[in-house]
Structure 1
Amino acid sequence: MTVDVTVVGGGISGFACARAVQDAGGTARVIDRGRRPGGRLASRTIDGRAVDLGASYFVVGDDERFARVVAGWETRGIARPWTDTFSAFDADGTETRKSGRMRWAAPAGSRSLVLDLADGVDVESGREVERVAPYRVDGKDAGEVVLAMPEPQARRLGHGIPVAPQDWEPVLAVVLRWEKRRWSADLHGAFVNGDPDVAFIADDGDRRGDGAPVLVVHTTGGAARMYLDDPDAAVAPVVAATRRLLRIDAEPVATHAHRWTFARPARATGEPFFRSPGLSLCGDAWGQSPAVRTAWASGDALGRALAAS
C-alpha cells in the first residue's frame, strides 16, 4: 500500500518528518540502510558498552516545539542536562574554561533519541535504496519522497535533484578507553584550537553519567581527509595529541576509529528545508546553523508542510 510520505534516511530529521506527518493524520514510512535507526546520532557497543560516535551533545535552543520534545525526553530519562562549561585547549596545552548554553546528552546513547522518535513509525531497516524520483523509490510508487540525508548522498540517488551542491566536512571519531580515569573529573568536554589532528574531546563517561574511563575524540577535517581511507591510521596521532593535552601518563587499553565521510555541512542554507513536488530534502544543513536541533526542526517543519498539502 502506498503511503503519503516515504522518508529515506533514518536519522533524527527523517523521523521528525515522519512523526510530523503522522501527528497530522497522514501515513509515513522510513527506509534506512542501517540495521538500526540513528544516522549521525549513532552509538556503537564497544567492549560491552554503548559509545556515542556522532554528535557530541545537543542544545535545546529557542524552538518551542523542540523544547517540548526534549522536556518529554527528560521526564522519561532519555535525555539529561550535561554541562554548561567546556574547556578550551590551545596547541601548547594552555587550558581555559568557557561557560555557555546547557549541553544535553543521552544516558543510553544518542541513538536512543532517534529510537524514541521512531516508536510507532513504520520502519524498513537494512535496505539500500538505489534510485529515487518524484513520488517514486526504486521504481515504485512512494507518495511524497523525502531524502533526510546529506546532499552529496542524496544526489547519488537521483540525477537532476534541483538543489545547489553543498560542501560537507569529514570527521573521524576515535574512541579511547583506559583501565581507569586519568584526567580531571571536571573535564566534561574540550575544544582544541590549533592542533592538526584533534578538534574536540568528550568525556563519554561524564557525558553518559556512568563514569566510564572513555574519551571520544573528533578529528579536524584535515586529519579526517588525510586518513579517510584508513581510519585506524589516525589512532596513533590522536592518542599522542590527547595524552599531551590532558597530561595522561599511559596508553589507552583499547581504541576504535569510526569514519564520518559527511559529518557536518560547511555552512547552512538558511532555509528550513527544500521542497519540490514529489521530492524534498531535510536535515541539519537546512537551517540557520548545523546542529541536532536544526536537523529535528528541519524534518518537523517539512513533515508539517507536506501534511498540510
Structure 2
Amino acid sequence: MSVVVVGAGIAGLACARVLVDAGIDVRVLERTPVVGGRLATRRYDGRPADVGAAYFTVSDPEFDAVVRAWRAAGLAREWTDTLVALENDALANRSREPRPGPMRWAAPGGLRSLAEHLAEGLTVKLQHAVTAVEPGPLVDGVPVDAVVLAMPGPQALDVLDPCLRTARAAVDGQNWVPSFAVTLRYPERAWPDFHGAFVNGHDVLTTVFDDGDRRGDGAPVLVAHTTAAYTATRLGAHDQVIADVEDAVEQVLGLPTRPVTAYAQEWPHARPETPSEAPFHLDEDNVGVCGDAWGPSRVQTAWLSGTALGRALASRLG
C-alpha cells in the first residue's frame, strides 16, 4: 500500500505520521523548500520570527499529549493567557482592555520547529509541486492507493481533476481570506509591555505581537498582521505594505522610533472563513482532504484533522 500526502504543514505531517506508524508506505510532497506550511518561521538578520500562525492553544486531550512532549523536549512553552484589545491608538494612550483567554503556546525556536519534529523519520520531498490528481488515484500520472491533500481548498481545486467531483465539492465551498505578516525590527524596545494585541476597527492591522516576548529572548521585534480587505488589493505590493504597516504600528503603539529593518510575508490563503463541520474528507476514490478548514481555524484543528484522516485511511487500507 502506498499513500502520497501533498502538503507538509501540520495536518499533512500528522496524517503521514499515523499512516507510517500503521506500516503504510507514505511519501510527503511539499512545493516549498521547508516543512511547516503556515507554521512558518523565517530568519531575519540572523534571528527567527514567526510569520504565519502567531501561537496555538490546546483543548483536546490527544493534542495536549503531543504538546506536553514538545514542552519536555524544549520545543514549546506556555506563553500567555492574556492579550489586549486596542481601539486604534489605545495602547499609545496607555488605555487597553485585557482579553483573558486560553493559554497561548509559543516555540522558542519558532513554530516551524514543531513541524520539523513531526517530520522526523518521514519521507518528505521538498520543492516538489504536484500539478494533477486524477481518478485512480493518480498523482501526476503515478498510481497510488490513496492521496491526501493537506492544503487550503482553493489550492486543492487547482490540482483536482474535474472527474473527482466528490472531492471538488468538498472543498469548493471553502472561503479563505488573505493577510500579510510584517516583521519589524527596532533599535530598542520602546513600547509599553504587552504580549500581543487585537487591533479593532483599524483599516490596516488586525493584530500586533511582541515577538521578543513570544520567543522569550526579549528582542525588539514586532510582527503585525493585516486585514483581509487591506491585503486583497495589495497582493504583491510588499514595499507599499511595509510602509503602511510601519506607519500603522507607529500610530497604534505610539512608537518614538522607526524600525531598522522590515520584511513582509504574503499569505493569499491565510485563514478559512467557512470551517467545515466534518473533521476531514475521504471519498470512495481514496482521495482525502484535511487541514484547519475542517473545524475552527486553529493549529490544533489541523493536527486533529490530519490525525483523524490518517486513522480512517489506515483502517481502510489495512
Could you tell me which runs of 5 or more consecutive residues in structure 2 were left unpaired when the two chains were aligned.
Answer: 163-167
Could you tell me which runs of 5 or more consecutive residues in structure 1 were left unpaired when the two chains were aligned.
Answer: none
Letter in 1 for 2:186: W
> Cα distance, 1:51 vs. partner?
1.1
Letter in 1 for 2:286: G
Q: How does 1:37-48 map to 2 (within 5 A)?
A: 37-48=35-46
User: Aligned residue for 1:239?
Assistant: 246
How high is the sequence identity, in percent, across the aligned residues? 47
Partners of 1:68 and 1:165 lie apart in 2 by 33
> Cα distance, 1:46 vs. partner?
0.6
User: Aligned residue for 2:155?
Assistant: 153
Q: 1:28 aligns with which of 17, 26, 29?
A: 26
Q: How does 1:194-205 map to 2 (within 5 A)?
A: 194-205=201-212
| Structure 1 residue ranges (4+ consecutive) displaced by more than 4 angstroms after TM superposition | none
Mean alpha-carbon deviation: is it higher for 163-172 or for 197-206? 163-172
Q: Does 1:8 align with 2:9?
A: no
> Cα distance, 1:92 vs. partner?
4.3
User: Aligned residue for 1:122?
Assistant: 123
Q: Does 1:281 align with 2:282?
A: no
User: Aligned residue for 1:211?
Assistant: 218
Mean alpha-carbon deviation: is it higher for 225-234 or for 33-42? 225-234
Decide whether the 8 Å contact of 2:89 with 2:254 is kept in 1.
no
Decide whether the 8 Å contact of 1:175 with 1:217 is kept in 2.
yes
Q: Does 1:296 align with 2:303?
A: yes
Equivalent residue pairs, number: 304
What is the CA deviation profile of residues 194-233 of structure 1, one whole-angstrom value per residue up to 9, with x for unaligned ones? 0000000011111111111100000011111121131221
Partners of 1:137 and 1:51 lie apart in 2 by 34
What is the CA deviation profile of residues 229-283 of structure 1, one whole-angstrom value per residue up to 9, with x for unaligned ones? 3122111221111111111111111000110000000120111001112211000
> Cα distance, 1:25 vs. partner?
2.5
> Cα distance, 1:44 vs. partner?
0.8
User: Aligned residue for 2:165?
Assistant: none
SS in structure 2 of the partner of residue 71 of structure 1: helix
What is the CA deviation profile of residues 91-126 of structure 1, one whole-angstrom value per residue up to 9, with x for unaligned ones? 242421111110001100010010000001111111
TM-score (norm 1): 0.96
Letter in 2 for 1:230: A
User: Aligned residue for 1:137?
Assistant: 139
Partners of 1:226 and 1:278 lie apart in 2 by 38
Letter in 2 for 1:137: V
Q: Does 1:271 align with 2:278?
A: yes
Partners of 1:210 and 1:308 lie apart in 2 by 45
Decide whether the 8 Å contact of 1:5 with 1:29 is kept in 2.
yes
Decide whether the 8 Å contact of 2:132 with 2:160 is kept in 1.
yes
User: Aligned residue for 1:72?
Assistant: 69
User: Aligned residue for 1:59?
Assistant: 57
What is the CA deviation profile of residues 149-203 of structure 1, one whole-angstrom value per residue up to 9, with x for unaligned ones? 0000010012332323311000000110101111123x11100000000000011
Letter in 2 for 1:182: A
User: Aligned residue for 1:17?
Assistant: 15
Decide whether the 8 Å contact of 1:172 with 1:257 is kept in 2.
yes
User: Aligned residue for 1:181?
Assistant: 189
Q: How does 1:82-121 map to 2 (within 5 A)?
A: 82-93=79-90, 94-121=95-122
Letter in 2 for 1:175: T
Decide whether the 8 Å contact of 2:275 with 2:294 is kept in 1.
yes
Partners of 1:298 and 1:119 lie apart in 2 by 20
Partners of 1:90 and 1:202 lie apart in 2 by 15
- Superposed CA RMSD in Å reads 1.1
Partners of 1:69 and 1:229 lie apart in 2 by 37
Mean alpha-carbon deviation: is it higher for 225-234 or for 105-114? 225-234
SS in structure 1 of the partner of residue 57 of structure 2: coil
Decide whether the 8 Å contact of 1:267 with 1:290 is kept in 2.
no
Decide whether the 8 Å contact of 1:203 with 1:215 is kept in 2.
yes
Decide whether the 8 Å contact of 2:88 with 2:200 is kept in 1.
yes
TM-score (norm 2): 0.93
